[in-house]
Structure 1
């Protein structure tokens, strides 16, 4: 055996998952290598040195070598990711007919870990407190998903005929389509995305909005976007916004997110999928389409959600912003995710179902997945905003970092998103236009719009400069919000008092 630097390991072998930065003294800064035979050991000099080291009865330390030396003669490398915390954890490597999944065994009692119990095989979602994050879908979940799928597949041929010319119209020369899904309850966030892009002069012609109601379709078109409404599949989706993460309306929209990407993937296009609570600082598509980077090696690339819990292991991929290259692996993945709708209904989470299905496809088909670490600058979001990265947010306000987007994730509901975007200095929608249909633009605003305009709602409702407002002193804000109330108990003010 030998050990090498964890940071060097991730630098030289991009396994796709976001690296948890090693903390000094935590003992998680190195990677342990086990070699199955002498032929797998590094160079002759290193090999002899390591063998002598292990034969020395007085030696207790595991030799440290470089990452380059560690893998020099490895024809196969099996990577195991394991959380080194305070658990009494053991790892058994068994010479056997090979498996590409890790079995998880625990000494489990009714309330969690019980050292008096025998080891038993458990779900990978089993937690030490006794809770299981991966209960199988119920008969009710399966029946609901069958109903959804039967309607979906019956309508599929006709839907594809209607959708194809729209996709062809918006796709970039490299065949990328920016896919967004919205109902009318979320419409002001869609408006804000368009208005913020207009303020920066960004090209958003690649956007195709899957509107789940006719009001949103009309609104999107009045914003200058291409929109598609599929009555056969979307007519049962509520038009109001979700009240909170995981409620009935939230889950219905999650199913729509799966349908729309499966449709576009079936037509053979690359996809940039994004939620409506995103603003662009610069167009991210060239970043993903650039053929001169190592990113071309990956099939799917995601923003890091930031919440590295067992539900989202091992990728912590944020399902609200990701890029997909079309190929047989990704097309099959979206088909499988659609058929796993019962898991979405059971968990109330598109994200959890996506990551678990994706993990299996990485193992089965060699799907190549990349998640950009939350510690990089390109794709910040809710993790950074909610006081997890105060330094980064101050650098963002100061203009010393250069991200592509900001994603207002990790947020309870739409009202919170609107308030937080105003504090962030990324709200560009006239107050008179919030929650308004395209045909209901206030008269005084509409009077200023050219009668021949193809974007009347955007012309009337977008502001050239952001509307910055204080709401909560304990959340990041572009301007100091000393006098505002807190929203989170016990959190200090973002800005130090003058």
Structure 2
């Protein structure tokens, strides 16, 4: 094959440009940049105003995007398919203000008599909150869980996680299947926001008593439950987020927040989504940053958990989370007891509720001393 000098020169230039681009990519990765970081930076540059600051109007705008921007997930794996059927399901479930409640189950949590049944039961035992089930999407991460869900609930969605791991059993906290599951859920939540829907995510090992939306600030981009709470919903420094229960408003700002949250997995490869969110919460909320997420921490007096029973008056309780609790059997036993305590409380006449009714210490999920010892470390949270 013959090459003219001009053709050879063009080919050489293309080869040189490709080589330099590859070397630049290696340099950026060696400095801690990921492909997701670079794509996010490109999006941020396009979203800025001519002055270089993000437009508040653009960040506040509710977005609606039918297309799916498939990006690289951590460690170079492509995201799953574009969530077929999700855009059709959400309008059937959403409230008038385009809000959906989301929980997720595998086969172990969805089978009869397991956590999904107990979770749904709590809505009927709670104070006039059973109508919220009409706005609940149960995300099943395996086919058996999907079939169990369809048995008891009208709005089920099968999430085909891009992994060869077995996600159907009750995975131990921080096991490989557990970690893959929490990141798959986060990707789906980002997609919900991209479609223009607010969401309240709740782990299925949480029982509900009262309407939580009454305690979420109207100006909050995100409101999250807490493992540690010191009385100030804006206390970023001391509060420990528990992302087993959190609300996110659908705006361009929060879509970018979830992109950065997922991208941060490259920087903290040993962490799970809650630990990493705690690491980057200052970046996301900084007043001099380009995102300035408005984050609210929810009072543990209303959104409690087994890590520590903070100011545990049943008169204030909205939810109770079986966190800091190992094994499905222990969670089921103690959550059934919690629901039994709640039922006993609700039959007491309001005039006789003048004293504080406190929750009993969970019988199966550890002693108070053991819970208090691990409560300050949110990395030890055990969720479904």
Q: Do the two structures share a fold, i.e. TM-score over 0.5?
A: yes
Paired with 2:299 and 2:125, the residues of 1 have a C-alpha distance of: 29
User: Who is 1:255 aligned against?
Assistant: 183
Greater helix share, 1 or 2? 2
Q: 1:191 to 1:147 in 2, by over 3 A?
A: farther
User: Cα offset for 1:380?
Assistant: 1.5
Structure 2 residue 233 is the aligned partner of structure 1 residue 304:
no
Q: 1:354 to 1:480 in 2, by over 3 A?
A: closer
Which ranges of structure 2 fall in alignment gaps of 5 or more residues? 1-71, 231-235, 346-356, 371-384
Where does 1:29-44 land on structure 2 (aligned, <5 Å)?
none
Q: 1:257 to 1:144 in 2, by over 3 A?
A: closer
Q: 1:480 to 1:343 in 2, by over 3 A?
A: closer
Where does 1:217-366 land on structure 2 (aligned, <5 Å)?
217-231=146-160, 233=162, 236-243=165-172, 245-288=173-216, 295-306=217-228, 314-343=238-267, 345-347=269-271, 349-363=272-286, 364=289, 365-366=291-292
Q: 1:486 to 1:226 in 2, by over 3 A?
A: closer
Q: 1:488 to 1:265 in 2, by over 3 A?
A: same
User: Who is 1:443 aligned against?
Assistant: none
| Preserved CA contact (<8 Å) 1:382 1:410 | yes
Structure 2 residue 353 is the aligned partner of structure 1 residue 425:
no
Which of 385, 405, 410 does residue 324 from structure 2 map onto?
A: 410
User: Cα offset for 1:315?
Assistant: 3.8
| Preserved CA contact (<8 Å) 1:277 1:407 | yes
| Preserved CA contact (<8 Å) 2:125 2:209 | no
Paired with 1:485 and 1:263, the residues of 2 have a C-alpha distance of: 37
Q: 1:485 to 1:403 in 2, by over 3 A?
A: closer
User: Cα offset for 1:192?
Assistant: 0.8
User: Who is 1:21 aligned against?
Assistant: none
| More relative contact order, 1 or 2 (CA 8 Å, 6+ apart) | 2
| Preserved CA contact (<8 Å) 1:303 1:373 | yes
User: Who is 1:146 aligned against?
Assistant: 75
| Preserved CA contact (<8 Å) 2:104 2:204 | yes
CA distances 1:26-58 after superposition (whole Å, capped 9, x unpaired) = xxxxxxxxxxxxxxxxxxxxxxxxxxxxxxxxx
Structure 2 residue 139 is the aligned partner of structure 1 residue 214:
no
Structure 2 residue 91 is the aligned partner of structure 1 residue 180:
no
Q: Tell me the secondary structure at the aligned position of residue 384 of structure 1.
A: coil
User: Who is 2:307 aligned against?
Assistant: 383
| Preserved CA contact (<8 Å) 1:196 1:427 | no
CA distances 1:427-485 after superposition (whole Å, capped 9, x unpaired) = 99xxxxxxxxxxxxxxxxxxxxxxxxxxxxxxxxxxx999xxxxxxxxx996799xx89
Structure 2 residue 125 is the aligned partner of structure 1 residue 199:
yes
| Preserved CA contact (<8 Å) 1:209 1:225 | no
| Preserved CA contact (<8 Å) 1:183 1:216 | yes
User: Cα offset for 1:489?
Assistant: 9.2
Number of aligned residue pairs: give it: 275
User: Cα offset for 1:261?
Assistant: 0.9
Q: 1:358 to 1:479 in 2, by over 3 A?
A: closer
CA distances 1:181-222 after superposition (whole Å, capped 9, x unpaired) = 211122221221112213345111111111100111111221
